[in-house]
A and B are shown apart, each in its own frame.
Chain A
């Protein structure tokens, strides 16, 4: 293509191809979403099992920290290393996605660890609402429908959880982790491999 005499159609082609190429390089993958979905699922399931065995009281914060703290440290180093190694540029969407994830994590931790007694039986539905908002905003930011749908289902599940016996709130959290994080995360990885995101 001649540097100066290219046609308007060729100009538009350069613009769309470059934007597409840049988008491919900066797109998110589902790794961290699957990790946190699995961690939430494992923490709640293990607490049910430990309680059944009479070894543990349910929703023990120390046990939660044992599993979540390495997850938080891993997430921090994974995202830091990924952006450094792959030379990923700073984007507004990347900032929104990262901020939403960390804000959910920190607020969820503070609510459960410090104000758990104040919130009482509303803890699980409130955590699900926070997770639903996070999932929907991330889904809308990266324009990925399974995350948006997962977030909407999470929001409905959160409202439904208010009506359920608190003894079963853990099942709501496990189901929420599955439909709001693990499944959309796996679908996001598949879509990324196919280049559809």
Chain B
């Protein structure tokens, strides 16, 4: 029988993290959104969200735009084509684990 780590080896390690998966799920639903919307929706700490956004950006899954809105910093995040493809592949692999016969 395969160990749990081996069993999930096909799953993208960038996406196979609770908070990063939530962030990408939000970005699959909207065109672009703000850092604060992600923080409110995931109910995670700002620092943690910031770290995970950086990791997703380094992987090329999201683009981050930093601007100013009414003299306050405003960070907007959107999914890249690479990120969208990675998410779709991740879901396909999940389905393989859940329904191996398909």
Task: Using CB atoms and an 8 Å cutoff, list the residues of chain A in contact with chain B.
Answer: 1, 3-6, 8-9, 11-12, 14-15, 18-19, 21-23, 25-26, 87-92, 95
Summarize B's interface: helix, strand, loop or mixed: helix
In-complex Cβ contact of B31 among A4, A11, A89 (8 A): A89
Q: Who on chain A is nearest to B15 by CB?
A: A11
Contact between A23 and B29, CB atoms less than 8 A apart? yes
Summarize A's interface: helix, strand, loop or mixed: helix
Contact between B33 and A3, CB atoms less than 8 A apart? no
Given A3-B17, A8-B11, A11-B94, 11 more pairs with CB closer than 8 A: A3-B19, A8-B97, A11-B11, A11-B90, A12-B91, A19-B28, A26-B30, A87-B34, A90-B31, A91-B30, A95-B31
**CB-defined contacts of A5 to chain B, threshold 8 Å:** 4-5
Give Cα distance in the complex from A157 to B21, angstroms: 48
Contact between B94 and A8, CB atoms less than 8 A apart? yes
With A18-B26, A19-B28: A4-B17 Cβ-Cβ less than 8 Å: yes
In-complex Cβ contact of A25 among B41, B91, B98 (8 A): B41
**CB-defined contacts of A22 to chain B, threshold 8 Å:** 25-26, 29-30, 41
With A4-B17, A8-B98: A15-B25 Cβ-Cβ less than 8 Å: yes
Distance to closest chain B CB from A84 (angstroms):
9
**CB-defined contacts of A95 to chain B, threshold 8 Å:** 31
Q: Who on chain B is nearest to A14 by CB?
A: B21
